[in-house]
Structure 1
Amino acid sequence: MFTNKFLFRTSYQLSLLSLGLFLFSCEKNETQVQPYNNGVLIFNAGNFFDNNGTLSLFDRDTKTVTTDIFLKENNRSLAGGLTGYSEVDGKGIILVDNSTDGKDAIEIVDAKTFKSIASIKGEVDNPRQVVRVSTNKAYITCWDTFNTDYSYKFGFIAVLDLTTNKITKKIPVDNGAESIVVIGTNAYVGNVGSQRTIKVVDTQKDEVVSSIEVGANPSNFVLDASNKIWMIVGKQIVLFNPTTKSIEKTFSSGSDIKKSPSNLSISNDKNTLYFTYNFYDATDGYKLKGQINAIEISSGVSKTFINRTFSSVNVDSKKEQIYTTLIPSYKQAGYVFRYQMNGTLIDSVKAEIAPSGFYFK
């Protein structure tokens, strides 16, 4: 009788142990198996009229690309061009610009699994960039729709509450509202709509509190180590001091009057600015031509960094590498090229249609 009880107890304890190990294994695997924890998200704008924008994930180590991860995880497409993405408190916010009026959207996903949390439709027009403001709160810049003469209507900032996943307010700003950064309790908003001002928004009141003239189309904002804003104004690179509310430095982007700077980014050590310096050649079927330039901040000298035409340039501060994109056409797959910080090519991978930017995880 004792033996039977002992065997029964031992068997029972072993069963509990096995069950515990199984549950621990499941819990461990559930924690570990988060396919989008790490890597580089590639923004593929797609063809505007085909509404086929996507997000891809590039694995830095295996050098492989997982295509259209939103479709993969949710069994539906984004149904529009992709204009922006960022992450706020564990949620990924995807900006979708559909070619049909009234169908632009914000898709909110779990940033680790990319499973859909919410879709907001009919609340935004031409969404451009998204930025974290505070806990569970984000701002989204929007161009708004066009007038009949194809000029922009006044833009706005959509205030997104991530506790309810709803737009709670629209803050009127300049037309063509695009670039935005948050410093303390203020957001600084630029535009590409032929305006000459930066709008300053109090993020606690969600109101514009001042307008500062800096020059034509202030855009492509990046922050340096002192929380000062580098931006492109016209064809120049300028440093704006948000404390003094004035331009502190002005650099020439280059000497070619045909070319325009865009896609401004900054090195991890905050000592070098990189930007595409391109133009569309009317004598050769309006093909995109140009190069990537670099400006050493201490000297202000602009020079060719990569003598090849790319559509965008970004710096991966996690790996200290430079990422560029190549768009052969808006009907075929594009490519991503990686470079060392000295300009030496590392490798290239095929992306999807119109790769236009990155989010580094």
Structure 2
Amino acid sequence: MKNQLTKSIAVGLVALSVWNCKTSDPTPTPYESGVFILNAGNFSSNNGTVSFLSRNSNVVATNIFQTANPSLALSGGVQGYAEVNGKGLILVDNSTAGQDKVEIVEAGTFVSRATLKTPDIENPRQVISAGPNKAYISCWDVSGDYSAGTFYKDPGYIAVVDLNTSKVTKKIPAVKGVEKMVISGTEAFVGSNTYSGDQTLLIIDLNTDTEKQRIAFGSTPEPIALDATGKLWIQAGKDLVQLDPTSRAVAKRLTFSAAPGSVTISGDKRNFYYTLGGKTYSISIDANTASGSVVVNRSFSALGIDPQTGRIYGTVIPSYAQAGYVIRYESSGTLVDSVKAEIAPSGLYFR
């Protein structure tokens, strides 16, 4: 009996040990909570990088793609980044024709999983999640002659990427200079680059990956975000336009003295932040006139609002031959710190 009791206790301890092993906390990934800094680099040098800044640190982890993949290099300017179902997509624009690509990585570690290359990817501009395992990438297509007025191919396209197979499954004809995209329900609202001159707002059906409607907008539309009421905001030159995505009706139009820069929405989707005249402002989505409040007495190359903390992140590019900076502020405009990044920090992605 004593031996049986001893064996029972031993078996119980082993089972408990195994259970503890199986239920232990997962190993944290190196890029768990913070912001990816998208450094465009010097275009002719093709030396763009991605950095990571933790919310609780003032030290940047530099060139994290190279760190995770020592035998690989981005080899181009970093144009954009987004995450879809645990996968990160890095848009890489190379100064040499035919060398553009998209690197697909594990979002938490930046370990490379696949590479999309030309001719599937030509001049990638923005990437968004278009479904559980689907991404849309806006592409200008092959560049033409800028001096001849034919730089933007007409039309550009949206590459549909299946993240299960890491392949481009379709190219949706878009608009000239196609760039920014915002999802509302089962539709993608697609605009173009200001310099393209295209004035069409394109609407794509996410279920069929086909064109649904084109709206003549009167000026170049650049979709920004959906607000807290579900309305779509679009920048059109000096105007910020609030559009009902269901009826397509314009709800209101705010006209500024000049085109606001780096327009981005707050985490609660109730305020916009933008730069104008060397200062950074905030304005409520409920405003009926273009009269924002000064938050920071300077402007930035790019703005981002941390959805968790509400802090303002602004990037500074001293030149395209030296490291830039990310400056953080409380939502009130109080300075937090200034952190050295890499060459030409031009975008921010929070996770």
TM-score by length of 1: 0.87
Which residue of structure 2 lines up, in the alignment, with residue 246 of structure 1?
249
Deviation digits for residues 254-286 of structure 1 (CA, Å, limit 9, x no counterpart): x3x5xx3222112233332111226xxxxxxxx
Match of 1:41 among 36, 41, 47: 36
- Classify the secondary structure of the residue corresponding to 1:71: helix
- Classify the secondary structure of the residue corresponding to 1:49: helix
In 1, the alpha carbon distance for the partners of 2:249 and 2:176 equals 22
Which residue of structure 1 lines up, in the alignment, with residue 132 of structure 2?
135
Match of 1:109 among 93, 105, 111: 105
Which residue of structure 2 lines up, in the alignment, with residue 32 of structure 1?
27
1:339, distance to aligned residue in structure 2 (A): 1.1
1:220, distance to aligned residue in structure 2 (A): 4.7
Deviation digits for residues 96-126 of structure 1 (CA, Å, limit 9, x no counterpart): 1111111111111111221111111111111
Q: Does structure 1 conserve the Cα–Cα contact (< 8 Å) formed by 2:227 and 2:285?
A: no
Which residue of structure 1 lines up, in the alignment, with residue 274 of structure 2?
275
The equivalences for 1:1-361 within 5 A come to: 20=18, 24=21, 28=24, 31-75=26-70, 76-122=72-118, 123-148=120-145, 149=148, 150-153=150-153, 154-192=155-193, 193-253=196-256, 255=257, 257=258, 260-277=259-276, 290-299=278-287, 300=289, 301-361=291-351
Q: Does structure 1 conserve the Cα–Cα contact (< 8 Å) formed by 2:189 and 2:223?
A: no
TM-score by length of 2: 0.89
1:246, distance to aligned residue in structure 2 (A): 2.6
1:17, distance to aligned residue in structure 2 (A): 7.3
In 1, the alpha carbon distance for the partners of 2:16 and 2:308 equals 40
In 2, the alpha carbon distance for the partners of 1:66 and 1:18 equals 39
- Classify the secondary structure of the residue corresponding to 1:72: helix
In 2, the alpha carbon distance for the partners of 1:81 and 1:347 equals 26
In 1, the alpha carbon distance for the partners of 2:65 and 2:24 equals 25
Q: Does structure 2 conserve the Cα–Cα contact (< 8 Å) formed by 1:200 and 1:211?
A: yes
- Classify the secondary structure of the residue corresponding to 2:65: helix
Point out where structure 2 has 5 or more consecutive residues left out of the alignment: none
Deviation digits for residues 267-312 of structure 1 (CA, Å, limit 9, x no counterpart): 233332111226xxxxxxxxxxx22232233333234332213101
In 2, the alpha carbon distance for the partners of 1:235 and 1:99 equals 31
Change (3 A) 1:62 1:275: same
Q: Does structure 1 conserve the Cα–Cα contact (< 8 Å) formed by 2:320 and 2:344?
A: yes
Deviation digits for residues 189-240 of structure 1 (CA, Å, limit 9, x no counterpart): 0101211111001111111111012232211511101221112101111112
Q: Does structure 2 conserve the Cα–Cα contact (< 8 Å) formed by 1:252 and 1:302?
A: no
In 1, the alpha carbon distance for the partners of 2:121 and 2:52 equals 26
Deviation digits for residues 139-158 of structure 1 (CA, Å, limit 9, x no counterpart): 11111222222530021000
The amino acid of 2:151's aligned partner reads S
In 2, the alpha carbon distance for the partners of 1:332 and 1:39 equals 23
Q: Does structure 1 conserve the Cα–Cα contact (< 8 Å) formed by 2:81 and 2:349?
A: yes
Give aligned pairs, total: 340
In 1, the alpha carbon distance for the partners of 2:339 and 2:321 equals 17
Q: Does structure 2 conserve the Cα–Cα contact (< 8 Å) formed by 1:43 and 1:82?
A: yes
Point out where structure 1 has 5 or more consecutive residues left out of the alignment: 279-289
1:38, distance to aligned residue in structure 2 (A): 1.6
